Amino acid sequence: MHAISDSYNANGYVVLKKFFSAHELKALHECVSTFHELWLIDNADFYQQRAINSAYLSSTKYLNTAQRSELFAFVSSHKIMRLAHQVLQGNFAFLNTQLFFDPANSTQKNYWHRDAQYHLTLEQQKAMLTQPDVVHFRVPLVDEPGLELVPGSHKRWDSKEELDVRLERNGKTHPEPLSSGHVQALDAGDLMIFSANLIHRGLYSKTNNRLAFDFLFCPNDIKYAEFIDSDCLPTHEQLDNLEAPQVFKNAIDLKARM
């Protein structure tokens, strides 16, 4: 089991092939598909223009109580928690869910980024590299091209090439290839765990059926509370039916402390 944590610490990601059976993914796939169909109706213009992902799948907006309970049970299963404790430092909390899909426009380009660049300055992004990670758990529901990422970049700053491309400086654009990039394809049933600090980009499929479910865990720190949506958290009754509810209890506690 140390191999998982060692690989994650060195590279910023780890892939477990065929981690889930088709049976284990059946209910999840149904919930995600329901959410996606309803989300597309409400966000048709955004989808046609540029959308590649949605979020807050466990909110009360699109899914009923039973469907939300399925998501909570999947995320907080013993099977997931055993892995989470290997790659996350110290105590951690549920942060959010996301769904990644192909853009409506087949010519739309993907882009290199670190997750934190959309709300932190460059100096703050550098500081994040020495702090405990926010971690994605990605569950592809169909076979897909996966991600391209820069191994080890969760613990080091960008090279000149990487920073110029990521920030579109010095004539570079963020869809350009990086010499340090590594492609990691994913199949339905795989599990990919990766740091939000990694330089990475999604790879779009040619079949337009990409559907990758992400759930994110963060350090159990009050500074993350603003990014947690209370409507996405389980009720006390739902908590009682989970195998390992502490990750949600920590999120509820962080929101209460705001």
Please report, rounded to a whole number, the percentage of residues in the chain having pLDDT higher than 70. Answer: 100
Where are the chain's structural domains? 2-256
| Most distant CA pair in the chain, distance | 55
Query: What pLDDT shows up at residue 66?
Result: 98
Backbone angles phi, psi at 152, to 5 degrees: 85, -5
Query: What pLDDT shows up at residue 206?
Result: 84
Fold adopted by 2-256:
Jelly Rolls (2.60.120)
* pLDDT at residue 256 tops 80: yes
* pLDDT at residue 1 tops 80: no
Mean pLDDT on 1-24? 94
Q: Name, in order, each residue with C-beta under 8 angstroms of 184's C-beta and a sequence gap of 6 or more.
A: 13, 15, 146, 147, 148, 149, 192
Each residue's pLDDT tens digit, 162-203:
999 999 999 999 999 999 999 999 999 999 999 999 999 999
Each residue's pLDDT tens digit, 211-254:
999 999 999 999 999 999 999 999 999 999 999 999 999 999 99
Please report, rounded to a whole number, the percentage of residues in the chain having pLDDT higher than 90. Answer: 96
Query: What pLDDT shows up at residue 2?
Result: 76
Closest CA to 4 of 83, 92, 76: 83
* pLDDT at residue 89 tops 90: no
Report the SS3 class of residue 74.
helix
Mean pLDDT on 9-27? 97
Distance in Å from the first CA to the final CA of the chain: 36
* pLDDT at residue 7 tops 90: yes
Query: What pLDDT shows up at residue 90?
Result: 87
Report the SS3 class of residue 157.
coil
Cα atoms in the 13 Å half-sphere on the side-chain side of 173 = 4
Query: What pLDDT shows up at residue 146?
Result: 97
Closest CA to 12 of 218, 217, 198: 198
